Amino acid sequence: MLNSPSAIALSKEGVFSQKWNGFNARLAQQEMAFQVENAINTRSTLVAESGTGTGKTFAYLVPAIQSGKKIIVSTGTKHLQDQLFIKDLPSVREVLGIPCSFERLKGRANYLCLLRLGRSDGMLFKQPNDVTDWQKIQEWAKHTTAGDISELTQISDDSGVWPEVTSTSDNCLGQKCDHFSKCHVYAARKRATKADLVVVNHHLFFSDMAIKGEGFGEVLPDYDGVIFDEAHLLPEIAAQFFGFGFSTAQVTALCREIRIAEAADKSGVPLSETLDEVEKALRVLLLAIASKDRGELEELDNMPAYLDSRDALITQLGALSSLLESASVSGENLASVYQRTVDLLSNLQRFAFPDERGIVYWYESTRRSLRLQATPVTVSDQIRKNLLSEDLAMVFTSATLTSEDDGAHYCQRMGLDDTEVMQWGSPYDYRSRSLMYVPDGLPDPSNFRFSEEMVKQVLPVLELTDGHCFLLFTSYRVLHEVREILAELEKYPLVIQGEAPKHKLIERFHKTDRAVLLGTSSFWEGVDVKGDALICVVIDKLPFASPFDPVNKARLKHIEDNGGNSFYEYQLPQAILTLKQGVGRLIRDELDFGVLMICDPRIRTKSYGQKFLNALPPMRRTTRLEAVSRFLSTFLAKP
Ligand code: SF4
């Protein structure tokens, strides 16, 4: 037995076996807990890949609580953050009998802003749903103590009312706000400074780090160590926060705020005309780029209409900031919007002169908005400088950090050079409870008839499983093509990404007999459907990221420019990690069973296909439908 307090607590003779009904002591869990404990005690770094079912959550919570140190636990999703705070932490603390205090801290957009709620007007919402949502929020605001918007489960996360009653760092008045003493955002932060263990999400963690890097105030309290769960998401999230951006939606919101603030302003500085000019310049800019959607900034810079309208917007924002500067001298009302105008103008100007090295400049647009974004090609240097240089315990854990038993790709992206990745495989019996089916005869996914041929091969499998299936796609195009064919057949109830928020779709999938869910990237991970509801996962193609995506393209070029092979060093390991995530949806419990169907023939025909196969759990494989039928018949009751 491992001689450490956390491993002992999780052993057969330990406190969890004694007090937790149905607790199953697992050696992998004890070993990981031992390593986490060691990392916390010695303030060192641990990178741990822990397969589904090893019990990694307890393997890090137990040593974190036992350590008596101030620990931050950061999750990739708010869903896991809530689960840790509401369910896991209270249970683990109770079993251990240690009086550890813990708090959950989210980004400010998750808390009701009392100032903005007071200023909002239900009559101004155009959608009837929004008016009802606003009324519910008014009622809830009277009795909520934490102001956490997730308490109001009957209002969807994407309701148009939330942005009107929550704050951003741009529009929050901070200590100057009349509601500061009762503010939910600041109350949550205050509670977090006192807690032993604080649960945050990666977005909050990195936004705090980015602010800290610029010398501004911090949100997170001082801590001895940080444990990142769902750590495979970190490189992309870090890249968002070490970059900068500008969006027309920010300007639209700013103009609205200025008009509200102007009504109470006594400076006498006339703003309306200039605001009209700013809004007009925005409209002209959006018209100029109407046909674009996403690409490198260079594409826009080659369009004279874009350049002219962008420069006109810069001029108008400059005029507005001059007026606001004079107006804000005489009162507080316009001071915060003045600063926001200056910041927005400065960011837009950075896109007019995109000359920073190591940064990829790109844009994304719809008919109603344009977002300009600058993303660092690599984040390893920033992470080394801002995070790893601190004398802290660091634990990075996830079910997918290695591709083909090798964590070098992840460690290199995270600046964790020469760090060994410790691995604990899943305890589930994949060999006897799962089967991988790669049918013969499917064309290459680039073939124009791929969707049609895919459905022909998928239908017999759906008949065997009677629905109960996830169809996971790498593109919306194929998803829609397959959806059209399946919808016409009317054989299975379809649950389709985009028709409702993700958690509602999962709920619908659970409740609907014979359901087939069609989803893209967001359903490849963070979805946990146990039992007979899900017995088949179909993957349309190997999930290589598009080489035409501007950020991806810049990363590939960076590797080639430095003498590397971008396919083997980036595209392939990245695709393997994504495939492992998707495959991970199938077996979520030791009693689960199911079929994994991969419709991309390249997994068998290309030399790199073997690398994908080597990285997946040890499933039996077949190319024959009869084998699938035989396999399922051993688990499914015959009619
Ligand atoms: S301090 Fe900021 S978040 Fe809090 S109520 Fe005031 S404006 Fe809203």
The domain that contains 200 carries what CATH number? 3.40.50.300
Pocket test for ligand 1, best of 112, 114, 120, 260 (most atoms within 8 A of CB): 114
Examine the domain organization and report whether 157 and 58 are in the same domain: no
Residue 265 pLDDT exceeds 70: no
Cα separation, 561 vs 567, in Å, equals 13
pTM: 0.90
CA 122 remoteness from chain centre:
31
- Whether the CB-CB separation of 432 and 438 falls below 8 Å is answered with no
Query: CB burial class (10 A; 0-12, 13-18, 19+) of residue 284?
Result: middle
From the CA of 192, how far away is ligand 1's center (Å)? 17
Residue nearest to atom 2 of ligand 1 (CA): 172
Q: How confident is the model at residue 230 (pLDDT cuts 50, 70, 90)?
A: very high
CB environment 325-337: b (16+ within 10 A), e (fewer): bebbeeeebbbbb
Most confident residue range from 219-233, 241-255, 466-480: 466-480
Residue nearest to atom 8 of ligand 1 (CA): 113
Residue 638 pLDDT exceeds 60: no
- Looking at residue 510, its amino acid is H
Question: Within a domain: residue 177?
Answer: yes
The mean pLDDT of 187-200, rounded to a whole number, is: 93
Examine the domain organization and report whether 467 and 411 are in the same domain: no
The label of the residue with tokens 């604080």 reads 198
The mean pLDDT of 423-438, rounded to a whole number, is: 96
Examine the domain organization and report whether 85 and 141 are in the same domain: no
Question: What is the reported pLDDT for 637?
Answer: 66
Examine the domain organization and report whether 263 and 362 are in the same domain: yes
- Looking at residue 60, its amino acid is Y
Q: How confident is the model at residue 211 (pLDDT cuts 50, 70, 90)?
A: low
How many domains does the chain contain in total? 4
Examine the domain organization and report whether 504 and 596 are in the same domain: yes
Q: What percent of the chain has pLDDT over 70?
A: 96
From the CA of 177, how far away is ligand 1's center (Å)? 6
Question: What is the reported pLDDT for 639?
Answer: 46
From the CA of 524, how far away is ligand 1's center (Å)? 37
Q: How confident is the model at residue 216 (pLDDT cuts 50, 70, 90)?
A: very low
Examine the domain organization and report whether 207 and 285 are in the same domain: no
Examine the domain organization and report whether 478 and 623 are in the same domain: yes
Of 233, 59, 121, 143, the closest CA to residue 581 belongs to: 233
Give the nearest ligand 1 atom to 108 CA: 3
Pocket lined around ligand 1, Cβ cut-off 6 Å:
113-116, 167, 172-174, 177, 179-180, 183, 185
Question: Within a domain: residue 624?
Answer: yes
Cα separation, 387 vs 508, in Å, equals 41
From the CA of 86, how far away is ligand 1's center (Å)? 26
- Whether the CB-CB separation of 330 and 266 falls below 8 Å is answered with yes
Examine the domain organization and report whether 68 and 89 are in the same domain: yes
Examine the domain organization and report whether 90 and 118 are in the same domain: no
Most confident residue range from 120-124, 311-315, 364-368: 311-315
Examine the domain organization and report whether 577 and 481 are in the same domain: yes
Give the nearest ligand 1 atom to 113 CA: 8
Residue 215 pLDDT exceeds 50: no
Residue nearest to atom 6 of ligand 1 (CA): 177
Q: 474: domain range? A: 430-633
Average pLDDT, the chain: 91
Question: What is the reported pLDDT for 500?
Answer: 82
- Higher pLDDT pick, 263 / 81: 81
Q: β-strands 516-519, 620-622: how paired? A: unpaired
Examine the domain organization and report whether 336 and 275 are in the same domain: yes
Residue 336 pLDDT exceeds 80: no
Examine the domain organization and report whether 452 and 463 are in the same domain: yes
Cα separation, 282 vs 349, in Å, equals 15
